[in-house]
Every structure is written in structure tokens, then in C-alpha cells.
Amino acid sequence: MFTGFMTNAWLVGTIVAIVAGVVGFFIVLRGQAFVADAVPQGAFAGAAGASLIGVNTLIGLAAAALLGALGIGWLGRRGRRDVATALALVVLLGLGALFLSFSTEYAPEIYALLFGEVLGVSTSEVLPIVVLAVVSVAAIAALYRPLLLSSVMPELAEARGVRPARVETMFLIVVALATSMTLPVVGALLIFSLMIGPPAAARSVTSKPLAALVLSAVIAVVVVWASIAAAYDTNWPVGFFVGTFGAACYAAGRSWAALHGRRSAHPGRWHGAGDHGAGEHGVPAANVRV
């Protein structure tokens, strides 16, 4: 289980989990679950297109993910945000269907792109993933303060000279980067479970941003390790375990919050924009430390 080709699986799985946990924390905080769901699925079109013209899949993924993220930003400024996201997503998926119909790709390869194939990571794929991971985490670190401020207290952020539209665009680009590296491993349809399950659980356990961020990454790593081990043992698709364990994390977090009375509606707790649904920004809480 820990030898040969499995070494790559463990290594890449861990990196992917850390990035998903860190980026996912802000996705949950900003209430952008739909975007985080749409970008990877849209990126799938890029993979299909890349395999059609014979380019590296990773490049296709990154291009489509960026296109999707920027398209959502562009459309979202002109209309309803969730509608913009849905439209950008379906356009990319439509292109993906077109590319698939042109290519002679076998069904198993498409299945792997959609549902992940962590056990098939080759050594040559490790380096690009590491580079993208470092870039994503570095970008989050650089953006940490403005991102946190504009997610939690948009009015204050603006008063301090943070430009929400720019932070938004930068964040979407990071999501796109993180997506294109995680997609081949966990699959287009299930990255998203890894990006919101662990952060949601972490947020119900602690209200300190940095602690929640670290905890989120730790939970994501545990989920991925458990999923890889279970997939290795049962030979079932890794996506199944990631999806199930992700949901289990969320359920555990909710029960923890219920037991300890940490309801997100509790006054004085820090609120994210995500607590208030489709892009509305909430009541600023008093005791946030940024």
C-alpha cells in the first residue's frame, strides 16, 4: 500500500488535500459554493479539448478553469450571480460535450477525469502539481488579509481601500488554479466535496480564522488519506469515498456545533458572507480579528 506507484498517490493526495482545505476555507467563508462547484466542472471541457488537440491535459484544465472563473466574474457584474455561474458552467460543459464527440477517447478515461483516479498518478505529473500547489497557497497567503476582510466585513474592507471586485477576481483565479491541479486526482465532480466539507466542519469547531484554516487543511488531509486507503482496499472509485467522507465531516461539524451551542446565528460570532446566501453581505459581527 505504501510502495511503488502508491507513493505518488499519497504524495499528490496530501498536496491536493492541503490546497483544497486552504482554498475551500475561503470558499465557505465567502459563500461561493456554486462557483467552486462550477469551475471544476467547466474545467472538464478544457481537459477534453486538450486531449483532442494533443496538448497536456493540465494546460487545457488551467485554461478552461481560468476562462470559467473570469467568465463568471464578467457575467456576474451584469446580472444575477447564480444565473451567471450556471450559464458559464453550461457553456463550458456544452463545449466539453462537443470536444468529447470529436475525440476518440475511451469511456474509462473520461470517467477518470470526472470521478478521479488518484491511484494512477505518474511521476511526471507530480512536479506540475507541486508547482501549482505552491503558487495557490502563496497566492492565498498574499491575499489573506484583504480576502478575509472583504469576506467577513465587506464595508470595512472597502473603507480600508480593499477593492472587492479585484479581490474577487484574484480569488477566482486562485480557485481556478487549485481546481486544475486537483481535478485529475479527485475528479471534476468531487473536488468540490473536498473543498467545502472539511472547511465547513472546521468552521463549526472554531471561530478563529487562522485556526479554522489550519484545521480545515488537516481534516481535508485526513479525508484524502482515508479515501485513498479505502479505495486501495476495496478497489472502488476514490471519488465515492471523498464524497461520502466530505459529507460525513459536514454532518459531524453540524452535530458538534449543535452540542456545543455554537450556532452560526449566535450573536457575537463572526459571520461570513456565506451565512447569508446568494451574495448578500451580512451583519458585521463585533469581535472579528483580522
Distance CA 283, CA 290 (A): 16
By CB under 8 A, what part of segment 106-135 binds another protein? 107-108, 110-111, 114-116
Near another protein by CB under 8 A: residue from 132, 274, 281, 288: 274
Q: Evaluate the CA torsion angle 261, 263, 265, 270 in order and state its sign.
A: positive
Q: Which CB, 53 or 142, lies closer to another protein?
A: 53
Q: Which three cell numbers stand for residue 17?
A: 488535500
Which positions ≥6 away from 257 have C-beta within 8 Å? Answer: 204, 205, 263, 264
**Does the footprint of another protein cover residue 29 (CB under 8 A)?**
no
3-class DSSP state of 260? coil
Q: Which CB, 3 or 183, lies closer to another protein?
A: 183
CB of 288 to another protein, least distance (A): 18
Residues 9-28, one symbol each (x = binds another protein by CB under 8 A, - = not), give -------------------x
CB of 25 to another protein, least distance (A): 13
Q: Which amino acid is at 115?
A: F
CB of 225 to another protein, least distance (A): 17
Q: Which three cell numbers stand for residue 57?
A: 491535459
3-class DSSP state of 235? coil
The secondary element (H helix, E strand) that includes residue 124 is: helix 123-152
Residues of this chain that bind another protein (CB under 8 A): 28, 31-34, 36-38, 78-80, 82-83, 85-87, 89-91, 93-98, 100-102, 107-108, 110-111, 114-116, 187, 189-190, 192-193, 196-197, 200, 236-237, 239-244, 246-247, 250, 264-265, 274-278, 280
